Structure 1
Amino acid sequence: MSLVVYLAALVFGMTSVLLFRRPRTAMRNPLTQSTCAAIVLGALVFVCAAPATLATVNELTGVPNFGAPLTYGMLSAYSCAVLVLLINWRGGSRERVRRMVLRTMAAYGLLVVAIVVLFALADADTERLTDLDTYYAGTPFMREMILLYLLGHTAAMLVMCAVCVKWGREVGGLLRAGLRLILLGALLDVVGFQLTKYTAVVARWSGHDLDFLSTTVAPPMASLAALLCSAGFALPRLLPPVVAHWRGLGDYRRLDPLWSLVKSVSTAPKPPASWWQLPQARLQWREVSIHDALLALAPYFDHRVRERVRDTALGAGRSPHEARLAAEAAMLADAARRAVAGEEPPETPGTYRLHATEVLGPSGLVELAQTLDRPPAASGGAVPSSRTGPMAEPEEPHVA
């Protein structure tokens, strides 16, 4: 059982590591701080609740069941952190947020103190590593301590459920998806963990034995609930950059035909070769290098080539935009051939801006690269027969 709990704590804690991947930025963001604090405390609850940890803590302190107030106090701190996270997530004026956070921390701080005091007053000399809640359900002071930590956690989860339902009607997209995951996790916590604990404790009061609900059913339900909540908190924060890097990797690869054509004339400095470099950084470097190469090739643009291919594409029924892309691809391929062959620029140069340089981001370059990679029939015409000499290439804007 300890191994399963430790594994849940590890998975839970890794979410915090991902969110805290940029410490300097994260430390200035209250939302990131509170998210990481809630997830770390949740992971610590699992670590403290593992039977192996409880046995070690009891042995080191020399106090039977000392791990109980430690675990319950950590769970109360986690409940407080969840509420603080919700407060920061909701936002508002700085003073209002600060006031609500302080009130929440004060309330749960008193709860932790009460748990410790009640444990100190109780007679709990028999060590129980898995069934303490039901074993001491009728013991004075221990009974109150158990109910107190359960009520504190229940209050936090019910507030979270209410907030998620309310906010879910006001937002959309990833934020709504995250709220639904949090709501699912909170409901699972209430039903699968807390309700089973309450049922097992009340059963003991009435002379029945339903301890399996507390010892067998509740722990895995609590683990699953916490993982769902952490996923809900992290999803709106982690998924957008992940999607952005995935798209960046796709754009980086789609630029290959264009980069293969112009890389020989690019003078942009090469970045250090790092296999771990993020796709967005690789894409940014390739964009800069391609734009640098396009500037170098501009004097070699032959506008007669462009106009001829454009007219051919329009005559073939292509849209004006497709015809322009096909014409620019042909002109660029011709310019690259001239530059590599050391030929003189055309006698009638002119000022012309490629479509790829008129739009922000890599989309224009990607369009140009994909036009280069299409067969001549699809791109609206081949590169004209001005390609002559020993370095002539097939008469098409395709670059392998």
Structure 2
Amino acid sequence: MSLVVYLAAFVFGMTPVLLFRRPRRALRNPLTVSTCAAIVLGALVFVCAAPATLATVNELTGVPNFGAPLTYSVLCAYSCAVLVLLINWRGGSRELVRRRVLRTVTAYGLLMTAIVVLFLLAEADTERLRDLDTYYANTPFMREMILLYLLGHSAAMLVMCAVCVKWGREVGGPLRTGLRLILVGALLDLVGFQVAKYTAIVARWNGHDLDFLSTTLAPPMASLAALLCSAGYLLPSVAAQRRAWTDHRRLAPLWSLVRSVSTAPKPPTAWWELPRARLQWREVSIHDALLALAPYFDHTVRERARDAALRAGRSPHGARLTAEAAMVADAARRAAAGEEPPESAGTYRLHATEVLGTGGLVELAQALHRSSAPDATPDGAVPSPLPGTLTEPEEPHVA
């Protein structure tokens, strides 16, 4: 059984690696820190609850069942970390988040202190590695300690369920899917783990033996619930990294055109650098290049390309993208050739610089990709599309 628990702890605990590859940068993000803390503490619960770990802790301390309050305290810390994660995930003003986190940490800190005090007051000299909850269900102070840790964990799971249900109605996409996974995990924890424990303990109070619910059913249900919650925590971040990788790849046509103009310093990166970091650098570099090309923007090229696109039946938004792509390509050609800025040059703000995020740049890059010739001709003709590509512009991209 210990081997299975350790394996679950390893799988559970390795998931933060995707979020914590750059420790200095990650420590500045409360959401990343709270996510990793919740997952690591969840893995630590499994490690502490393994019979082999309990026996080792009892032997090292010389106190029978000392592993019990240790495990229960770690479980309370995990419950606290889950609530802190939800608080940071939900967001709000910095002062409001800080106040809620402080209240949560204080409440569970007091709970952990009470668990240790109750254990010290109890008489639990018989070592129990698998059935301590039911064996000591009628023992003074041990009974209260067991109920206290269960109630503390139940409160955290109930709050998690309520938040996931309420917040799930307000969001969509990967975040909603992540919340649903967390909700399923929390419900499985409530029903499969906690209800099983409560039932077995109440049965002991009434002279019945349903210990198998606590010793056989509850542990695997808790493991499965924790893994589902872990997947729910990580899914939005993994989805964001996937979107960043896609946007980074779709920006390639625009980056190939303007990279020689950009003066943004390239930070040292490794092959394992996360996509969001790579995308952020490419976005900054492209904006820097577009700023350098602004004096070469020929409005005659843009206007002619726009009029030709409108006559071809494209939407106003699609025609604007096509025209701006032609103007940027013409500006890049002029800058590379060392020509003087055109007489019709003037101030103009690209659509890509008017919208937040990477969506506008991606649209501009795809407009360039759809052109058979990256360099627009000076007369403003609209380049014909590449074979096999769509002739209509894509819908506006939202990063």
Deviation at 1:154, TM superposition (A): 3.1
CA contact (8 A) 2:305 2:322 kept: yes
How far is 1:184 from its partner?
3.8
Per-residue Cα deviation, 1:290-333 (whole angstroms, up to 9, x for no partner): 34444444555444443433332222222333333323333333
The residue number in structure 1 matching 2:391 is: none
**Partner of 2:267: helix, strand, or coil?**
coil
Match of 1:188 in 2: 188
Higher mean Cα deviation, 18-27 or 163-172? 18-27
Unaligned runs of 5+ in 1: 388-393
1:364 matched residue in structure 2: 360
Aligned to 1:218: 218
CA contact (8 A) 2:251 2:366 kept: yes
1:129 aligns with 2:133: no
How far off is 1:348 after superposition?
3.1
Distance in 2, Cα, partners of 1:93 & 1:374: 46
**SS of structure 1 residue aligned to 2:246:** helix
**Cα offset, 1:359, TM superposition:** 1.3
Instruction: State the Cα distance separating 1:11 from its structure 2 match.
Output: 3.8
| Alpha-carbon distance between aligned partners in 2 of 1:183 and 1:276, rounded to the nearest angstrom | 32
In 2, are the aligned partners of 1:48 and 1:70 still within 8 Å (CA)? Answer: yes
Partner of 1:348: 343
Q: Aligned runs of 1:191-340 on 2, under 5 Å?
A: 191-201=191-201, 209-230=209-230, 234=233, 239=236, 241-298=237-294, 300-340=296-336
Paired AA for residue 220 in structure 2: P
CA RMSD, Structure 1 to Structure 2 (Å) = 4.4
Q: Which amino acid aligns with 2:116?
A: V
Q: 1:35 to 1:281 in 2, by over 3 A?
A: closer
Amino-acid identity (%): 63
In structure 2, how many angstroms separate the alpha carbons of the residues matched to 1:50 and 1:262?
58
Task: Tell me the distance in 1 between the aligned counterparts of 2:268 and 2:366.
Answer: 27
Query: What does residue 56 of structure 1 align with?
Result: 56
Equivalent pair of 2:376/2:383 in contact (CA under 8 Å)? yes
Alpha-carbon distance, 1:113 to partner: 1.1
Q: What TM-score do you get using the length of structure 1 for normalisation? A: 0.72
TM-score calculated relative to the size of structure 2: 0.73
Preserved contact between residue 301 and residue 331 of structure 1 (Cα < 8 Å) = yes
C-alpha contact (below 8 Å) 1:302/1:335 kept by paired residues: yes
Contact 1:54 1:129 in 2 (8 A): yes
- Name the structure 1 match of 2:390: none
Q: Within 5 A, what are the aligned runs for 1:62-101? A: 62-76=62-76, 78=78
Return the alpha-carbon distance in structure 2 between the equivalents of residues 164 and 347 of structure 1: 61
Q: Is the 2:65–2:125 Cα contact (8 Å) retained in structure 1?
A: no
User: Deviations along 1:202-240, whole A, 9 cap, x unmatched?
Assistant: 5566676544333221211122233445555x36xx72x
Q: For residues 163 and 70 of structure 1, what CA distance do their matches in structure 2 show?
A: 24
1:134-173 correspondence to structure 2 within 5 Å: 134=134, 136-137=135-136, 143-144=139-140, 146-164=142-160, 166-167=162-163, 170-171=166-167, 172-173=170-171
Greater alpha carbon shift after TM alignment, 255-264 vs 35-44: 35-44
Q: Is the 8 A contact 1:2 1:52 kept in 2?
A: yes
Q: CA deviation at 1:155?
A: 1.8
The separation in 1 between residues aligned to 2:147 and 2:47, in whole angstroms, is 21
Cα distance in 2 for residues equivalent to 1:246 and 1:362: 14
Per the alignment, residue 396 of structure 2 pairs with none
Which string of whole-angstrom CA distances, capped at 9 and with x for unpartnered residues, describes residues 127-168 of structure 1? 44333445x358x7xx34553343113322443355346545
CA distance in 1 between partners of 2:64 and 2:290 (Å): 75
1:111 and 2:115 are equivalent in the alignment: yes
Deviation of residue 2 (structure 1)? 1.0
- Which structure has the greater CA radius of gyration? 1
CA distance in 2, matches of 1:85, 1:273: 29
- The residue aligned with 1:390 is none
Distance 1:98 1:356, change over 3 A: closer
Instruction: Classify the secondary structure of the residue corresponding to 1:173.
Output: coil
1-side partners of 2:32 and 2:330: how far apart? 52
Q: Distance in 1 between matches of 2:84 and 2:293?
A: 57
Letter in 1 for 2:9: A
Give the Cα separation in 2 of the matches to 1:226 and 1:108. 21
After superposition, the Cα gap between the structure-2 partners of 1:72 and 1:279, relative to the gap in structure 1 and judged at 3 Å, is closer
Looking at structure 2, the residues matched to 358 and 329 of structure 1 have their Cα atoms a distance apart, in angstroms, of 13
Structure 2: distance between partners of 1:397 and 1:268 = 31
Long gaps (5+) in structure 2: 387-399
| C-alpha distance in 2 between matches for 1:18 and 1:382 | 40
- With over 3 angstroms needed to count, the CA separation of the structure-2 counterparts of 1:322 and 1:273, relative to structure 1, is same
Distance 2:28 2:364 in 1: 42
Q: Which amino acid aligns with 1:223?
A: S
Whole-Å separation in 1 of the counterparts to 2:102 and 2:263: 53
The alignment of Structure 1 onto Structure 2 pairs a total of residues equal to: 376
- Secondary structure of the 2:259 match is helix
